[in-house]
Amino acid sequence: MATYDDLLKPASAQTADAPALTDGAPTPCGAPGAMVSANADARCIGFVDRVVEQLGRQADALIPILQSIQKRYGYLPREALEHLCEVSEITPRDIAGVSTFYSRFRHEPAGTHVISVCHGTACHVKGAPLVSSALRRYLRLEDTQTTSADGVFTLDSVDCLGCCTLAPVVQIDGITYGHVTPDGVGQVLTDFLELARGGGIGAGVESGERTPGGLAEVRIGVGSCCIAGGSMDVLTQMQEALGRINAPAVVKPVGCVGMCHQTPLVEIEKPGEEIAVYARVQPGDAEAIAYRHFRPRGLGGRARVAVSRAVDRLLTDENWPPPDRYALDVRDAPVCAFLGPQRHLATELYGAANPLDLDDYRAHGGFEALKRCVTKLSPDGVIDTIERSGLRGRGGAGFPSGEKWRRVRAATGERKFVICNGDEGDPGAFMDRMILESYPFRVLEGLAIATWAVGAHEAVLYIRAEYALAVQRIWEAIRICEDHALLGDNVFGTGVRILVGIMEGAGAFVCGEETGLMASLEGRRGNPRLRPPYPSEQGLWDCPTLVNNVETLALVPTIVRNGARTLAELGTGLSKGTKVFSLTGKVRRGGLIEVPMGITIRQIVEDIGGGVAEGRSFKAVQIGGPSGGCIPAELADTPVDYEALNEIGAIMGSGGLVVLDDSDCMLDVARYFLQFTQRESCGKCVPCRIGTRRMLDILDRLCTGHGRIADLDELEQLAGMVRASSLCGLGQTAPNPILTTLRYFHDEYLAHIEGRCPAGRCKELITYTITDECIGCTRCAQQCPAHAIAFTPYEKHTIDSSKCIRCDTCRQLCPTDAVRIQ
Amino acid sequence: MPTITIDNRTVEVEPGTTILDAAARLGIHIPTLCHRQGVKPQTACMVCVVKIAGRKGLLPSCATIAEDGMVVESETEEVRLARRMALELMLGDHVGDCVGPCQTTCPAQMDIPGMIRLIGEGRLAEAVALVKGRIPFPAVLGRICPELCERACRRGRLDAPVSIKLLKRFVGDFDIWAKQRHLPVCRPATGRSVAIVGAGPAGLSAAYYLRIAGHSCTVYDDRERPGGMLRYGVAESELPHWVLDAEIEPLERMGIEFRAGVRVGEAVSLEQLRARHDACVLAVGDVGEWVEGFAGVPVEGRALAADRGTHQSPLPDVFVAGAALTPSRYAVRAVAGGRSVAQALHLFLQGEQPAGAERSYSVHIRTMDPDELEQFAADTPRHARVKIPTGQPGGFTEAQARMEAARCLHCECAELDTCRLRRLGLAYHASTTRYHGERRRFERDMSHPLLVHEPGKCIACGLCVQIAADSGEQLGLSFVGRGFTVRVAVPFGRPLSDGLREAARACADACPTAALTLREHFPHSSLPEPEAPAPRFRRRRRMLRRPFGRLRGSG
Q: Coil, strand, or helix at residue B46?
A: coil
Is pLDDT above 80 for A308? no
Lowest mean pLDDT, pick from A284-298, A336-350, B500-514: A284-298
Lowest mean pLDDT, pick from A18-27, A230-239, A341-350, A556-565: A18-27
Interface contact flag, A683 B484, Cβ < 8 Å: yes
Q: Give the chain A residue whose CA is nearest to the CA of B66.
A: A532
**Separation between Cα atoms, residue B106 and residue B99, nearest integer Å:** 11
User: What's the whole-number mean pLDDT along residues A6-10?
Assistant: 53
**Separation between Cα atoms, residue A692 and residue A679, nearest integer Å:** 9
B89 contact residues in A (CB cutoff 8 A): 686-687, 690-691, 694
- How many Å lie between the alpha carbon of A697 and the closest alpha carbon of chain B? 7
What is residue A320's predicted lDDT score, i.e. its pLDDT? 33
What is residue B208's predicted lDDT score, i.e. its pLDDT? 97
What is residue A26's predicted lDDT score, i.e. its pLDDT? 35
Q: What pLDDT digit, counting tens, does each position of A200-246 carry?
A: 443 333 333 333 445 777 888 777 777 777 777 888 888 888 777 77
B468 contact residues in A (CB cutoff 8 A): 93
Interface test with B, best of A62, A542, A689 (most B CBs within 10 A): A689
Q: What pLDDT digit, counting tens, does each position of A154-188 carry?
A: 998 887 777 777 788 888 887 778 888 888 888 88
What is residue A214's predicted lDDT score, i.e. its pLDDT? 58
**Separation between Cα atoms, residue A238 and residue A266, nearest integer Å:** 10
Task: Look over chain A and give the mean of its residue pLDDT values, rounded to a whole number.
Answer: 83
Of B468, B484, B493, the CB nearest to A690: B484
pLDDT-derived band of residue A288, with 50, 70 and 90 as boundaries?
A: confident
Is pLDDT above 70 for B370? yes
Interface contact flag, B478 A96, Cβ < 8 Å: yes
H/E segment holding residue B90: helix B77-92
Buried b or exposed e, range A649-675, using 16+ CB within 10 angstroms: bbbbbbbbbbbbbbbbbbbbbbbbbbb
Interface contact flag, A690 B477, Cβ < 8 Å: no
What is residue A199's predicted lDDT score, i.e. its pLDDT? 53
Interface contact flag, A697 B438, Cβ < 8 Å: yes
Of B57, B468, B492, the CB nearest to A82: B492
- How many Å lie between the alpha carbon of A556 and the closest alpha carbon of chain B? 30
Q: Coil, strand, or helix at residue A620?
A: strand
Sheet holding A488-491, edge to edge: A488-491, A496-504, A458-463, A417-422, A545-549
Q: What pLDDT digit, counting tens, does each position of B103-114 carry?
A: 999 999 999 999
User: What's the whole-number mean pLDDT along residues B393-405?
Assistant: 90
List Cα–Cα distances, A685 to A50, A278, A639, B521, in angstroms.
Answer: 38, 51, 35, 29
Q: What pLDDT digit, counting tens, does each position of A541-579 carry?
A: 999 999 999 999 999 999 999 999 999 999 888 899 999
Is pLDDT above 90 for B251? yes
**Separation between Cα atoms, residue A343 and residue A347, nearest integer Å:** 9
- How many Å lie between the alpha carbon of B36 and the closest alpha carbon of chain A? 16
- How many Å lie between the alpha carbon of B465 and the closest alpha carbon of chain A? 8
Q: What is the DSSP letter of B42?
A: -
- How many Å lie between the alpha carbon of B117 and the closest alpha carbon of chain A? 36
- How many Å lie between the alpha carbon of A506 and the closest alpha carbon of chain B? 13
What is residue A393's predicted lDDT score, i.e. its pLDDT? 92
Task: Look over chain B and give the mean of its residue pLDDT values, rounded to a whole number.
Answer: 91
The full DSSP string for B387-452 is PPPTT--SS--HHHHHHHHTT----S-TTTTT-HHHHHHHHTT--SSTT--SPPPP--B--SSSEE
- How many Å lie between the alpha carbon of A123 and the closest alpha carbon of chain B? 24
What is residue A120's predicted lDDT score, i.e. its pLDDT? 83
Interface contact flag, A689 B479, Cβ < 8 Å: no
Q: What pLDDT digit, counting tens, does each position of A610-620 carry?
A: 899 888 999 99
- A–B interface: beta-carbon pairs under 8 A: 138
A727 contact residues in B (CB cutoff 8 A): 43, 46, 60
Is pLDDT above 70 for A676? yes
Interface contact flag, B43 A529, Cβ < 8 Å: yes
What is residue B542's predicted lDDT score, i.e. its pLDDT? 56
Q: What is the ipTM of this complex?
A: 0.89
Is pLDDT above 70 for B65? yes
The percentage of chain A sitting over the pLDDT mark of 70, rounded to a whole number, equals 86
User: What's the whole-number mean pLDDT along residues A493-501?
Assistant: 94
Interface contact flag, B476 A680, Cβ < 8 Å: no
Q: What is the DSSP letter of B523?
A: -
A681 contact residues in B (CB cutoff 8 A): 482-484
The percentage of chain B sitting over the pLDDT mark of 70, rounded to a whole number, equals 95
What is residue A9's predicted lDDT score, i.e. its pLDDT? 52
Interface contact flag, B491 A532, Cβ < 8 Å: no
Lowest mean pLDDT, pick from A120-134, A628-642, B359-373: A120-134
Q: What pLDDT digit, counting tens, does each position of A765-805 carry?
A: 999 999 999 998 988 888 888 889 988 899 899 999 888 98
Interface test with B, best of A520, A530, A684 (most B CBs within 10 A): A684
Is pLDDT above 70 for A34? no
**Separation between Cα atoms, residue A349 and residue A31, nearest integer Å:** 32
Of B45, B92, B469, the CB nearest to A93: B469
Cβ neighbours of residue B223 under 8 Å, at least 6 residues apart? B199, B231, B232, B260, B261
- How many Å lie between the alpha carbon of B521 and the closest alpha carbon of chain A? 27
**Separation between Cα atoms, residue A196 and residue A96, nearest integer Å:** 34
- Bridge partners of B193, per DSSP, are B216
Is pLDDT above 90 for B156? yes
Lowest mean pLDDT, pick from A144-148, A220-224, B110-114, B418-422: A220-224
- How many Å lie between the alpha carbon of B19 and the closest alpha carbon of chain A? 13
Cβ neighbours of residue B413 under 8 Å, at least 6 residues apart? B96, B97, B98, B99, B419, B422, B457, B514
Interface contact flag, A718 B459, Cβ < 8 Å: no
Is pLDDT above 90 for A637? yes
B45 contact residues in A (CB cutoff 8 A): 685-686
List Cα–Cα distances, A782 to A776, A813, B395, in angstroms.
Answer: 11, 10, 72
List Cα–Cα distances, A272 to A216, A245, A275, B153, B183, in angstroms.
Answer: 10, 21, 9, 91, 113
What is residue A7's predicted lDDT score, i.e. its pLDDT? 55
Of A81, A92, A508, the CB nearest to B475: A92
pLDDT-derived band of residue B551, with 50, 70 and 90 as boundaries?
A: very low
* Angle formed by the axes of helices A185-197 and A4-13, nearest 10°: 10
Is pLDDT above 90 for A192? no
Cβ neighbours of residue A569 under 8 Å, at least 6 residues apart? none
What is residue B244's predicted lDDT score, i.e. its pLDDT? 94
Q: What pLDDT digit, counting tens, does each position of B430-481 carry?
A: 999 999 888 889 999 999 999 999 999 999 999 999 999 999 999 999 999 9
Lowest mean pLDDT, pick from A528-532, B340-344, B540-544: B540-544
pTM: 0.87
CB B322 within 8 A of CB B228: no
Interface test with B, best of A90, A93, A510 (most B CBs within 10 A): A93
Buried b or exposed e, range A256-265, using 16+ CB within 10 angstroms: bbbbbbbbbb
pLDDT-derived band of residue A319, with 50, 70 and 90 as boundaries?
A: very low
Write a three-state SS string for B127-164.
HHHHHHCCCCCHHHHHHHCCCHHHHHCCHHHHCCCCCH
What is residue A296's predicted lDDT score, i.e. its pLDDT? 56
pLDDT-derived band of residue B529, with 50, 70 and 90 as boundaries?
A: low
Interface test with B, best of A682, A721, A722, A730 (most B CBs within 10 A): A721
Query: Whose CA is closest to A601, among A545, A648, A539, A561?
Result: A648
pLDDT-derived band of residue B318, with 50, 70 and 90 as boundaries?
A: very high
Cβ neighbours of residue A314 under 8 Å, at least 6 residues apart? A285, A288, A327, A328
Lowest mean pLDDT, pick from A294-303, A430-439, A488-497, B9-18: A294-303
**Separation between Cα atoms, residue A240 and residue A217, nearest integer Å:** 15
Is pLDDT above 90 for A417? yes
Is pLDDT above 80 for A300? no
